[in-house]
Amino acid sequence: MKLDTQAIWIDLNEELYKFVLGKVKDEQTAKDIHQEVFLKIETKIYQLKHSSKITSWVYTITRNTITDYFRKAKNQNIAIRDLDIPETAPDNFEYANLSNCINSKIDSLSAEHKEAIVLTSFKNYSQKELAQHLKNLLFRNKIKSSKSQGNS
């Protein structure tokens, strides 16, 4: 089976760029990730066993590359909506409904619980790292509280 990466580029180039830009919200970062995705496609195309799964395979590479970017960035202020990265191609109606349902449940959580989900599920914090992060956050809040009480 010979797959042409040029054909993949023609079919998915703009769609993937818009998808990445919608997730990272920065044009230069989106261009970098977009380029990295196509480099991965070029070097790993031989691993694809069924050409009928090309779109979902490309989206998996894209999703994983975006996740790697967020993992490296360790940006603490990412909203849960910014991390809504689908597991399948965006035209899967059932998946989209499930994703919306999960996101609405997460949105209804307190800020602390939301942050815990983001850190452990999307940024791959271990429970130990999460505990340390929350401990540091609690310590900073106590300092702020003490300073504000001292100023009153």
Measured distance CA(150)–CA(152) in Å, rounded: 6
Supply the mean pLDDT for the chain.
Answer: 76
What DSSP assignment string belongs to 86-145?
-SS-TT-HHHHHHHHHHHHHHHTS-HHHHHHHIIIIIS---HHHHHHHHHHHHHHHHHHH
Which one has a higher pLDDT value, 65 or 111? Answer: 65
Asked whether residue 127 carries a pLDDT value surpassing 60, the answer given is yes
Mean pLDDT for the stretch of residues 73-90 = 57
Residue 136: predicted pLDDT:
74
Mean pLDDT for the stretch of residues 99-105 = 65
Asked whether residue 1 carries a pLDDT value surpassing 50, the answer given is no
Measured distance CA(48)–CA(1) in Å, rounded: 9
Residue 113: predicted pLDDT:
77
Which one has a higher pLDDT value, 93 or 38? Answer: 38
Asked whether residue 112 carries a pLDDT value surpassing 90, the answer given is no
Using CA atoms of 141, 146, 147, 150 in order, give the dihedral in degrees to the nearest 10. Answer: 160
- Tell me if the pTM is above 0.85: no
